[in-house]
Amino acid sequence: MTSKQIDTATGRRGAGLWLAVLALILGLALGAAGGRYWFKAQALSRYDALKQQLEGDLVSARAQLAESQARVDALTGNLMVEESTRKGLETTLTRVQADLGQANEKLAFFHQLFPPGPAGAVSVRALTMEWQGANLSYRALFMRNALQAPTFQGRIQFVAKGSRDGKPASAVLLPAQGAPQNQAVDSDAKDEPAEDDTDAFTLHFDEFQRSAGLLAVPDGFTPESVTLNVLEGDTLRVSRSIKLDPAPTP
């Protein structure tokens, strides 16, 4: 083989080698580019999946937060209502206690001004009468020293003195027909019924009792004074008289 042929063969082998190297480099470059694209696609896919998961978790967390906030608002509203109600009840209780204290003080002062007398004795502490049309309106307050004393049970009686046909006369006054008799007993009175619950003049109390109502005046009779009698059975326990103003002109 001549030297020219040898050089030609050597040149061909060198060119083939460079082509192989170039092909290898190109393959590596293409492989690297393809691998990079594949990894990028995988990363983007995982990123999208993770993003969607996080967005779902965020929506769920926001929903739970809104529900919790609604519960907190509801509980806060209930607490405010309960607090307002509690304060209102406390205010009412304080006012009632203050009123009760003042009433007890007035009652104690009243007892000091008007000694109740012997234990169990009944007294007429107040009596007022005024004309109401052709009838007499009355208000009375009865009290007693009830320390270790049984409940008083009795009745009241109104005896009027005046004139009839220009002559002195007297009459027992009865409740006016159709007029409500208004009585209030003290809270310590026992629940035992009186002998006649329909009797508007019945007394049944421990410490005090108020009585009010209308008395009918007989036709032709002009009362000038009225005596209030407190009876226990047929026994007179106490009485009190009051003078009347002139009857109104019809």
CATH number at residue 203: 2.60.40
Residues 130 and 200 in one domain: yes
Can you read off the two tokens belonging to residue 148?
A: 């270790």
Residue appearing with tokens 């309960």: 82
CA-closest candidate to residue 210, choices 139, 162, 147, 152: 139
* Residue pointed to by tokens 């208000």: 139
Question: 231 and 165: one domain?
Answer: yes
pLDDT of residue 97: 87
pLDDT in tens, the chain (250 residues): 565 555 555 556 666 677 777 777 877 777 776 767 676 677 677 767 777 787 787 788 888 888 888 888 888 888 887 888 888 888 888 888 888 888 777 666 565 555 555 666 888 989 999 999 999 999 999 988 766 778 899 999 999 999 999 999 999 999 998 655 554 444 344 444 434 444 679 999 988 899 999 999 999 999 999 999 999 999 999 999 999 999 887 6
Tell whether 35 and 8 lie within a shared domain. Answer: yes
Residues 51 and 94 in one domain: yes
How far is the first Cα of the chain from the last one, in angstroms, to the nearest whole number? 173
Total number of residues shown for the chain: 250
Nearest to 245 by CA among 126, 132, 124, 125: 132
List CB contacts of 118: < 8 A, sequence separation 6 or more: 145
Q: What is the pLDDT of residue 162?
A: 96
Please give the C-alpha separations between residue 41 and each of 38, 44, 45, 48, in angstroms, as whole numbers.
5, 5, 6, 10
- Of 82, 113, 144, at which residue does a domain stop? 113
* C-alpha atoms less than 13 angstroms from C-alpha of 161 in its C-beta half-sphere: 7
What's the pLDDT at 107? Answer: 65
Q: What is the pTM of this model?
A: 0.51
pLDDT at 88: 87
Cα–Cα distance for residue pair 164/146, rounded to 1 Å: 42
Alpha-carbon Rg for the chain, nearest whole angstrom, is 55
In the three-class reduction of DSSP (H, G, I as helix; E, B as strand; rest coil), residue 169 is classed as strand
Evaluate whether 239 touches 195 at the Cβ level (below 8 Å): no
- Are 135 and 154 contained in the same domain? yes
- 61, 85, 113: which is the final residue of a domain? 113
Report if residue 248 sits inside a domain.
Answer: no
Burial readout 100-115 (b: 16 or more C-beta within 10 A, e: otherwise) = eeeeeeeeeeeeeeee
Domain range holding 30? 1-113
From 113, 148, 175, give the residue that closes a domain: 113
**Given this model, what pLDDT does residue 197 score?**
40
